[in-house]
Structure 1
């Protein structure tokens, strides 16, 4: 199964949350989906190299009318030299059904960590999202539950009932992905959730990914879990159903 099919990304408003591959997932999808928009409801690092153009506009619906080359980025402001600001979720929601085929949304932040659980104001999901993709890195397994590897480690500790500094287990990653206080938080009732275990870079990590996936499937009502290596020519390593 290719990445677009695995994540049901064609003709979707798709949001990525979690840690360990949100941006790389958006960019991998953008170059594989016809007429894709990459945007955000939170801050997003500069990503001009991953799209044909980035449109900075307070009227994003109108900006889409003039697009000639896809995929495009769509943001309201260049907040700093290294990042753009995102739209509010209602504005992101309004892009659905416009000239683009798929709207690809970064809906929370993780500061390049491998795992995270959200706080109260996260994630920033449009209410009409079709697909929500919670992401975690297979590399998190075996790492200590600390700020070096985990964004908001105290929240992950709460969700998994583990102690700060303990080594992260495959079951902990699965719990974070599957929990309503983790990767499933605030997912709209009408949306499909498709968890991703990213950075499955070798056979050992594939075994880790499979273990995570099987436990996610036992804990949550999701159609499948996708194991990925986003920089690869075919990012899908396995689809576990």
Structure 2
């Protein structure tokens, strides 16, 4: 299955949250959309590392819509300010809502929280920073966190993950723990509008063992909530990143 179709990111306002591949996912979706002739946009409502090499250009602007209207090459990145040498700031979510209302004729891809390069996270009270009109939310986790200890080495805010899962800090992370986090209103579903489509992404599926772990997480997750449309297993650094798509009651496609 095409990655844009699998993640419901062919158009509209798409926000990526969680840990384990947000930036790679954003850039992959933007490139694929542009390749198919869509005016794809990468932006953020939080800090985002410098990503000039992942798009045709990045515009630092307080008027992102005007920038997009003048653009001729895609994908385009828009940000309000360069905070320091290695990262940009993000817009207030209301600015992204205005972009979406203007209909840029392609997906607006938004980094809506941070994870400090970890593989699993639970958000703080102020996260995620989702635009009000977001259409698709993609909560991400890496399958490779399963079996690792619940510590800050691979988990962002491990104490919050512990609170959701009931596990002690330092305990081995289980597949069911990842599913609990992604299914929780204090985890992957935090602040997600009721009318938004939710597609969970399990990333870093590098081999058959990872695939089995991902399938276990996906089945558990879909049993826990009907808010998740389906679960995508992927290796987002690949040219053909989709490994499997799991739907409730229908198994793996």
TM class by smaller structure: over 0.9
Q: Which runs of 4+ in 1 moved over 6 A?
A: none
Q: 2:171 aligned with 1:172, yes or no?
A: no
Matched ranges for 1:137-156 at <5 A: 137-156=142-161
Q: 2:170 aligned with 1:184, yes or no?
A: no
Q: Distance in 2 between matches of 1:79 and 1:93?
A: 22
Q: Distance in 1 between matches of 2:230 and 2:73?
A: 33
Q: Retained in 2: the 8 A contact 1:15–1:131?
A: yes
User: 1:35: Cα distance to partner?
Assistant: 1.1
Tell me which moved more, 88-97 or 129-138. 88-97
Q: Distance in 1 between matches of 2:124 and 2:51?
A: 26
User: Deviations along 1:22-43, whole A, 9 cap, x unmatched?
Assistant: 0000011001112100000000
Task: Report the TM-score, using the length of structure 2 for normalisation.
Answer: 0.94
Q: Distance in 2 between matches of 1:235 and 1:195?
A: 15
Matched ranges for 1:63-212 at <5 A: 63-96=67-100, 97-212=102-217
Q: 2:240 aligned with 1:234, yes or no?
A: yes
Q: Retained in 2: the 8 A contact 1:195–1:226?
A: yes
User: Deviations along 1:100-146, whole A, 9 cap, x unmatched?
Assistant: 41100000000000100001100000010000000000110001000
Gaps of 5+ in 1: none
Q: Distance in 2 between matches of 1:27 and 1:100?
A: 18
User: Deviations along 1:203-223, whole A, 9 cap, x unmatched?
Assistant: 000000000000010011122
2:45 is matched with 41
Q: Which residue among 197, 218, 229 is the counterpart of 1:213?
A: 218
Q: Distance in 1 between matches of 2:187 and 2:105?
A: 30
Q: 2:231 aligned with 1:225, yes or no?
A: yes
Gaps of 5+ in 2: 248-253
User: Deviations along 1:174-210, whole A, 9 cap, x unmatched?
Assistant: 1111111100011011100000000000000000000
- SS of structure 1 residue aligned to 2:140: strand
Tell me which moved more, 92-101 or 34-43. 92-101
2:26 is matched with 26
2:250 is matched with none
Give RMSD over aligned pairs.
0.7
